[in-house]
Amino acid sequence: MPNGIIFDLDGTLIDSRADLALAVNLTRAELGLPPIPEAQVVGYVGEGVRVLLARALPERPEALERALAINQRHYRAHLLDRTRLYPGVATALERLRQRDLRLMVVTNKPREFTDLILDGLGIGRLMAAVVGGGDCPGLKPDPAPLLAALDQTGCAAAGSWMAGDNFTDLEAGRRAGLNRCFCRYGFGDPRGESWDLAVDSLTELADHLGA
């Protein structure tokens, strides 16, 4: 069976902090609330949009369902305003693809937005599988989305990798039986999870795998 690499999206392939924070603060404004700092919003990212908004709107817990719809509208309008690939990502992905590895994205971000971002930044064509939030019953750190991506590409867990910046990625990778690469340049929190390799650029992962 071929080997593959599963990548997280936010904080791993893309720096999306500004656009995520903008959408949250536009949502807060529409609900009559003042903005909160970007760094505060970023600290809430990683466990899906429902958790993000529940944390970002503690003043209005009863408005969560309405906030989800509002945030979806604002994020769709602004998701590529300032979101960019991290340095070295495009080159590393091309190198890994040329080594005949199957590249996948598994993210807790809704699939609609994931596809728009991947295609808008020119890397969607490199992915053999994409699993977004809502494609599986569970979200990372549940390993089910990772196992779904492996199943779609025919890759074995043994010998494959999960690359991400957050405990959700590392825990999901551990539970799925994958090697784990911690992307320490991202904005996630490993929360005591372990890893097999830590990198400051995806170029280092490509080097490690001989690509």
Rounded CA separation 47/56 (Å): 13
- In terms of Cβ atoms closer than 10 Å to its own Cβ (0-12, 13-18, 19+), residue 155 is buried
Rounded CA separation 185/22 (Å)? 21
Phi/psi for 127 (5° steps) reads -95, 130
Give the three-state DSSP class for 34.
coil
Are β-strands 84-85 and 4-7 bridged in parallel, bridged antiparallel, or unpaired?
unpaired
8 is catalytic: yes
Q: Quick one: how far is CA 23 from the chain centroid? A: 17
Type of residue at 163: A
Q: Which of 55, 84, 85, 78 is nearest to 67 (CA)?
A: 55
DSSP at 10: B
Choose the catalytic residue: 8, 19, 165, 169.
Answer: 8
Alpha-carbon torsion 176, 130, 14, 37, what sign? negative
Tell me the catalytic residues.
8
